[in-house]
Amino acid sequence: MRIDIISAVPDLMTSAFSHSILKRAAQNKLAEVNLINLRDYATNKQKQIDDYAFGGGAGMVLMIEPIAACINSLKAQREYDEVIYMSPDGELLNQKLCNQFSLKKNLIILCGHYKGVDERVRQHFITREISIGDYVLSGGELPAAVLSDAIIRLLPGVLNDETSALSDSFQDNLLAPPVFTRPQEFNGWKVPDILMSGHSANIDKWRHEQSVERTKERRPDLLE
Ligand code: SAH
C-alpha cells in the first residue's frame, strides 16, 4: 500500500512514521508513506500556499492552486483509490472504515491547516472526508498520522503475530480483554489463575467472556 500525505508542515509527522511498527512496515515494503510538502507545489514567486478568507474573518485558508498542482502531479503517476481530506466535519473514523481503507492500494491524504482549505478543493478533488473525533486540532497532520497508523497496522505481515490485530478492540464489535505479563504476583496482586493454566481452549473462552463483560460495562452501544 502507498499513502501520500500532503501537508503544509510535513515535519509534524516525521516521527510518527519513523519508529516501531510503522517504521518496520516501511522497511519491509508493506506500506510506503510519502510526506509531501505543499510548499513545493506553490505556484507563485513568494511560494505562497495560504491567503486571507474572502469575506473577511480571522484565519488563513490553504489555496487551491498548490493543492491542485500537487494532487494532479500525483494522479499523473498512478491511480488513487481515494483522495481523503482530514476534517472535523467529515465522516467519523472507526475500525470498520480502517478495515475498508486497509484493502486499498493507493491513498492520498490532504491535511488542512489554519482555517482549512478552499472549499473548491473539497468539491472537486476530495473523494472522502474523515474526522478523528468531535474536537478541533490545529492541523490535519496528527489526524492523518492517526488514520495511517490505524490502516497500516492492519496490513498482512505488519504485526508480528498476524492474529493480533483481530483480537484488538472494535473488531467483532467487542472491546479487548485484559492482558497481563510477568511478574505473576506484584504487591500481592495476582494474575488470574486461568491464564497460568496452559489450557488454551479455556483461556480463549475466558478472554471472550471478559471481552463481552467489558463491552457491556463500557460500550453497550457496540452490542446493539
Ligand atoms: N475551521 C475548521 C477547522 C480547521 S482546523 C472547522 O471549524 O471545521 C485545521 C485543520 O485541522 C482542518 O482543516 C483539518 O484538516 C484538521 N483537523 C482539525 N480537527 C480535526 C479532526 N477532528 N479530524 C480531522 N481533521 C481535523
DSSP letters for 58-106: SSEEE-HHHHHHHHHHHHHHS--SEEEEEEEEEEEP-HHHHHHHTT-SE
Residues in the chain: 224
Paired sense of beta strands 189-190 and 50-52, if any? unpaired
At residue 164, the pLDDT reads 81
| 85 CA from centroid of ligand 1 (Å) | 9
With the most atoms of ligand 1 within 8 angstroms of its CB, the residue from 13, 62, 137, 141 to mutate is 137
Per-domain residue ranges of the chain: 2-152, 169-223
CA distances (Å), 13 to each of 3, 95, 124, in order?
13, 22, 26
140 lines ligand 1 (CB under 6 A): yes
At residue 198, the pLDDT reads 97
pLDDT in tens, 30-89: 999 999 999 999 999 999 999 999 999 999 999 999 999 999 999 999 999 999 999 999
147 lines ligand 1 (CB under 6 A): no
| 6 CA from centroid of ligand 1 (Å) | 14
At residue 154, the pLDDT reads 95
- Separation of alpha carbons 159 and 3, rounded Å: 18
pLDDT in tens, 130-183: 999 999 999 999 999 999 999 999 999 999 876 688 888 998 899 999 999 999
Helix axes of 141-152 and 20-27: crossing angle, nearest 10 degrees: 70
Per-residue cell: 31: 506500506
Question: What angle is formed at CA 15 by the lines to CA 24 and CA 178, rounded to 5 degrees?
Answer: 65
Q: Sheet with 128-131: list strands edge to edge.
A: 32-37, 2-7, 106-110, 82-92, 128-131
113 lines ligand 1 (CB under 6 A): yes
Q: Is the four-CA dihedral 68, 70, 75, 77 of positive or negative sign?
A: positive
With the most atoms of ligand 1 within 8 angstroms of its CB, the residue from 12, 13, 60, 86 to mutate is 86
169-223 folds as: Trp Operon Repressor; Chain A (1.10.1270)
Name the nearest CA neighbour of 38 among 79, 12, 83, 71.
71
- Neighbouring-strand partners of residue 108: 4, 83
Three-class DSSP category at 30: coil
Name the nearest CA neighbour of 200 among 175, 168, 173, 163.
163
Q: DSSP assignment, residue 108?
A: E
| 128 CA from centroid of ligand 1 (Å) | 14
Question: What angle is formed at CA 63 by the lines to CA 117 and CA 4, rounded to 5 degrees?
Answer: 70
pLDDT in tens, 90-117: 999 999 999 999 999 999 999 999 999 9
- Neighbouring-strand partners of residue 2: 32, 106
pTM: 0.96
Cα-to-chain-centroid distance, residue 84: 11
Name the nearest CA neighbour of 64 among 82, 85, 81.
85
CATH of 2-152, one of 3.30.420.40, 3.40.1280.10, 3.40.50.300, 2.40.50.40: 3.40.1280.10
At residue 162, the pLDDT reads 61
At residue 193, the pLDDT reads 98
167 lines ligand 1 (CB under 6 A): no
With the most atoms of ligand 1 within 8 angstroms of its CB, the residue from 136, 141, 142, 147 to mutate is 136
